[in-house]
Amino acid sequence: MSKLIKEESLTDKDESAEAHGKCMLNRRKFLMYSGGTAAAASTVSITLFAGTAQAETRKASVQGYPRKKIATLSQLKDHQPINFNYPDDGKNSQAMIVKMGDVQAGGGVGAKRDVVAFSYMCTHQGGPLQTTYKHVGDQRVMGQCPLHLSTYDLRRHGIIVSGQAYQSLPQVLLEVEGDDVYAVGIMGLLFGRQDNLSA
Ligand code: FES
């Protein structure tokens, strides 16, 4: 988080209760602000070293992920992933969105909460996971990775269930507006990046 924050001097006016309230981020903004360079930026007030004698309030410039339309709900067919790139078209940005056949998932959107999106890059050594989506019974996984067999559970935020990897598969955060599905952030670090917004 420290990489995202550009500190600026604070005037007396900014120490008002109103300004202080601006640091109350909602969940979506909190998730969106977990990146580096950005398409959107805004300013909030934050308290450093809260509760200590060194506590001080600063203005901080935060930058967020782009909001990118990646699909429509009506075009998604059960178990047929659609590919897209996010948050940019750079290195390791390949990802997919899939409707998992009425099986609810963490972070899922749509009426059945069964629409999810994930990176295609294995978190171990970047093995390509394209074409590895599988559904068996209630299981919905990505894998096995062709390099060292890692498999990720797409119902549970891409948690690793077998293989060499030790980090979950990055999940693309989704929002629905009407029939449109937007990517609005990423939970987890894309393989091969210092931060998700620097390709
Ligand atoms: S690169 Fe995927 S398990 Fe090693």
- Please report, for the chain, the start and end positions of each structural domain, with discontinuous segments joined by +: 2-64, 68-187
The yes-or-no answer on residue 79 being catalytic is no
Distances 98 to 18, 52, 185 between C-alpha atoms, Å: 42, 47, 17
- How far is 170 from 162, CA to CA, in rounded Å? 16
User: Which tokens in the block code for residue 155?
Assistant: 């119902």
Which residue has the CA at smallest separation from atom 3 of ligand 1?
A: 148
How many contiguous H segments (helices) and E segments (strands) does the chain have? 2, 13
In tens, the pLDDT along 1-18 reads 444 444 333 334 444 444
Distance 146 CA to ligand 1 centre (A): 7
In tens, the pLDDT along 159-194 reads 999 999 999 999 999 999 999 999 999 999 999 999
Q: Can you tell me which atom of ligand 1 is nearest the CA of 164? A: 3
pTM to 2 decimal places = 0.74
Task: Please give all residues whose beta carbon lies within 6 A of any atom in ligand 1, as ranges.
Answer: 122, 124-127, 145, 147-148, 150, 163-165
In tens, the pLDDT along 31-77 reads 444 443 344 566 667 677 777 777 887 776 566 899 999 999 999 99
The yes-or-no answer on residue 157 being catalytic is no
Q: What is the CATH number of domain 68-187?
A: 2.102.10.10
Q: Can you tell me which atom of ligand 1 is nearest the CA of 163? A: 3
- Predicted confidence band of residue 199 (pLDDT cuts 50, 70, 90): confident
